[in-house]
Amino acid sequence: MQIKNTLIVFISASFLLSCSSTPNQLRNLIWLQGEWHAQKDSTLFIETWKMQDDSTMLGKGSIVEGGDTTVFENIQLLQKKDAFYYVVNLPNKPNAIYFRFIGQKTNARAASFFFQRVDTIANSLFEIQYEQLLNDKMRVKLSMPNAKQKELIEFKQVK
Protein backbone atom coordinates (compact mmCIF):
# COMPACT_ATOMS: atom_id res chain seq x y z
CA MET A 1 0.00 0.00 0.00
CA GLN A 2 2.87 2.38 0.84
CA ILE A 3 4.40 1.85 -2.62
CA LYS A 4 1.05 2.55 -4.31
CA ASN A 5 0.58 5.83 -2.36
CA THR A 6 4.16 6.89 -3.11
CA LEU A 7 3.63 6.17 -6.80
CA ILE A 8 0.40 8.22 -6.88
CA VAL A 9 2.14 11.17 -5.17
CA PHE A 10 5.12 10.90 -7.56
CA ILE A 11 2.88 10.84 -10.67
CA SER A 12 0.80 13.76 -9.39
CA ALA A 13 3.90 15.82 -8.57
CA SER A 14 5.44 15.04 -11.98
CA PHE A 15 2.27 16.18 -13.71
CA LEU A 16 2.10 19.44 -11.74
CA LEU A 17 5.77 20.22 -12.32
CA SER A 18 5.43 19.61 -16.05
CA CYS A 19 2.62 22.16 -16.31
CA SER A 20 4.00 25.58 -17.13
CA SER A 21 2.85 28.62 -15.19
CA THR A 22 2.78 30.47 -18.53
CA PRO A 23 -0.43 29.73 -20.45
CA ASN A 24 0.08 28.23 -23.90
CA GLN A 25 -0.83 31.16 -26.15
CA LEU A 26 0.04 29.11 -29.24
CA ARG A 27 -3.22 27.18 -28.94
CA ASN A 28 -5.07 30.48 -29.44
CA LEU A 29 -3.43 30.90 -32.85
CA ILE A 30 -4.24 27.48 -34.33
CA TRP A 31 -6.54 29.26 -36.81
CA LEU A 32 -3.41 30.77 -38.41
CA GLN A 33 -2.45 27.43 -40.03
CA GLY A 34 -2.54 27.45 -43.81
CA GLU A 35 -1.55 29.76 -46.64
CA TRP A 36 -2.60 33.41 -46.61
CA HIS A 37 -2.44 35.96 -49.45
CA ALA A 38 -2.89 39.71 -49.51
CA GLN A 39 -2.76 41.92 -52.60
CA LYS A 40 -1.90 45.60 -52.25
CA ASP A 41 -1.53 47.37 -55.60
CA SER A 42 1.07 45.29 -57.52
CA THR A 43 2.49 43.70 -54.36
CA LEU A 44 1.54 40.20 -53.17
CA PHE A 45 2.12 39.29 -49.51
CA ILE A 46 2.21 35.57 -48.68
CA GLU A 47 2.34 33.92 -45.26
CA THR A 48 2.25 30.19 -44.66
CA TRP A 49 1.89 28.67 -41.18
CA LYS A 50 2.02 25.08 -39.92
CA MET A 51 1.89 23.71 -36.39
CA GLN A 52 5.11 21.77 -35.69
CA ASP A 53 4.34 20.67 -32.12
CA ASP A 54 2.60 22.02 -29.01
CA SER A 55 5.24 24.73 -28.53
CA THR A 56 6.21 25.75 -32.09
CA MET A 57 4.39 26.98 -35.18
CA LEU A 58 6.59 27.39 -38.27
CA GLY A 59 5.96 29.95 -40.96
CA LYS A 60 7.31 31.53 -44.11
CA GLY A 61 6.67 35.03 -45.30
CA SER A 62 7.38 36.60 -48.64
CA ILE A 63 6.68 39.74 -50.60
CA VAL A 64 6.39 39.46 -54.37
CA GLU A 65 6.57 42.62 -56.48
CA GLY A 66 6.22 42.47 -60.24
CA GLY A 67 6.73 38.69 -60.21
CA ASP A 68 9.99 38.88 -58.21
CA THR A 69 10.33 37.87 -54.56
CA THR A 70 11.81 40.93 -52.85
CA VAL A 71 11.56 39.73 -49.24
CA PHE A 72 11.68 36.23 -47.82
CA GLU A 73 11.69 35.31 -44.14
CA ASN A 74 11.36 32.24 -41.98
CA ILE A 75 9.10 32.97 -39.05
CA GLN A 76 7.93 31.05 -36.04
CA LEU A 77 5.68 31.34 -33.05
CA LEU A 78 7.47 29.85 -30.10
CA GLN A 79 6.09 29.02 -26.67
CA LYS A 80 8.89 28.84 -24.11
CA LYS A 81 8.48 28.22 -20.43
CA ASP A 82 8.97 31.90 -19.60
CA ALA A 83 7.11 33.55 -22.50
CA PHE A 84 5.59 33.43 -25.99
CA TYR A 85 7.61 34.76 -28.94
CA TYR A 86 7.27 35.71 -32.62
CA VAL A 87 10.69 35.02 -34.21
CA VAL A 88 11.90 36.33 -37.59
CA ASN A 89 14.91 34.87 -39.45
CA LEU A 90 16.07 36.80 -42.52
CA PRO A 91 18.52 35.19 -44.99
CA ASN A 92 20.98 38.11 -44.87
CA LYS A 93 20.96 38.54 -41.05
CA PRO A 94 22.99 36.28 -38.74
CA ASN A 95 20.71 36.69 -35.72
CA ALA A 96 16.99 36.15 -35.37
CA ILE A 97 14.74 39.03 -34.33
CA TYR A 98 12.55 38.25 -31.32
CA PHE A 99 9.18 39.79 -30.51
CA ARG A 100 7.64 38.98 -27.12
CA PHE A 101 3.91 38.47 -26.62
CA ILE A 102 2.54 41.43 -24.66
CA GLY A 103 -1.20 40.93 -24.73
CA GLN A 104 -4.35 40.00 -26.53
CA LYS A 105 -7.86 41.30 -27.10
CA THR A 106 -10.73 39.02 -27.96
CA ASN A 107 -14.38 39.56 -28.79
CA ALA A 108 -17.11 37.63 -30.59
CA ARG A 109 -15.70 38.26 -34.07
CA ALA A 110 -11.98 38.90 -33.67
CA ALA A 111 -8.92 37.96 -31.68
CA SER A 112 -5.87 40.22 -31.63
CA PHE A 113 -2.42 39.12 -30.49
CA PHE A 114 0.26 41.75 -29.80
CA PHE A 115 4.03 41.18 -30.03
CA GLN A 116 6.73 43.74 -29.19
CA ARG A 117 10.38 43.68 -30.30
CA VAL A 118 12.75 42.41 -27.61
CA ASP A 119 16.14 43.90 -28.53
CA THR A 120 17.23 47.33 -27.37
CA ILE A 121 17.66 48.80 -30.88
CA ALA A 122 13.93 49.28 -31.38
CA ASN A 123 12.92 48.96 -27.74
CA SER A 124 9.11 49.01 -27.48
CA LEU A 125 8.56 50.74 -30.81
CA PHE A 126 8.02 47.88 -33.24
CA GLU A 127 4.78 45.99 -32.79
CA ILE A 128 3.07 43.18 -34.75
CA GLN A 129 -0.65 42.51 -34.35
CA TYR A 130 -2.43 39.47 -35.82
CA GLU A 131 -6.21 39.73 -35.87
CA GLN A 132 -8.63 37.05 -37.00
CA LEU A 133 -11.60 38.70 -38.72
CA LEU A 134 -13.49 35.67 -40.04
CA ASN A 135 -12.57 32.02 -40.46
CA ASP A 136 -10.70 32.77 -43.70
CA LYS A 137 -9.67 36.41 -43.17
CA MET A 138 -7.12 38.14 -40.99
CA ARG A 139 -5.58 41.56 -40.58
CA VAL A 140 -1.92 42.16 -39.77
CA LYS A 141 -0.87 45.55 -38.42
CA LEU A 142 2.78 46.58 -38.23
CA SER A 143 3.89 49.54 -36.18
CA MET A 144 7.50 50.38 -37.02
CA PRO A 145 10.09 52.65 -35.37
CA ASN A 146 9.65 56.32 -36.26
CA ALA A 147 6.67 55.56 -38.53
CA LYS A 148 3.75 57.94 -38.23
CA GLN A 149 1.23 55.35 -39.37
CA LYS A 150 0.77 51.63 -39.08
CA GLU A 151 1.02 49.28 -42.04
CA LEU A 152 -2.26 47.44 -42.41
CA ILE A 153 -2.51 44.28 -44.53
CA GLU A 154 -5.67 42.18 -44.89
CA PHE A 155 -5.15 38.53 -45.83
CA LYS A 156 -7.44 35.83 -47.17
CA GLN A 157 -6.71 32.17 -46.57
CA VAL A 158 -6.18 30.30 -49.84
CA LYS A 159 -5.21 26.85 -48.49
Q: What pLDDT, on a 0 to 100 scale, did the predictor assign at position 71? A: 87
Cα 107 to Cα 19, 103, 104, 113, 134: the distances in Å are 27, 14, 10, 12, 12
Domain spans, the chain: 25-157
Q: What is the pLDDT of residues 28-55, one digit of tens each?
A: 778 889 999 999 888 999 999 999 988 8
- pLDDT > 50? residue 8: no
| pTM of this structure | 0.72
Q: What pLDDT, on a 0 to 100 scale, did the predictor assign at position 6? A: 40
In this structure, which CATH number among 3.30.70.141, 2.40.128.20, 3.40.50.2300, 3.40.50.720 belongs to the domain 25-157? Answer: 2.40.128.20
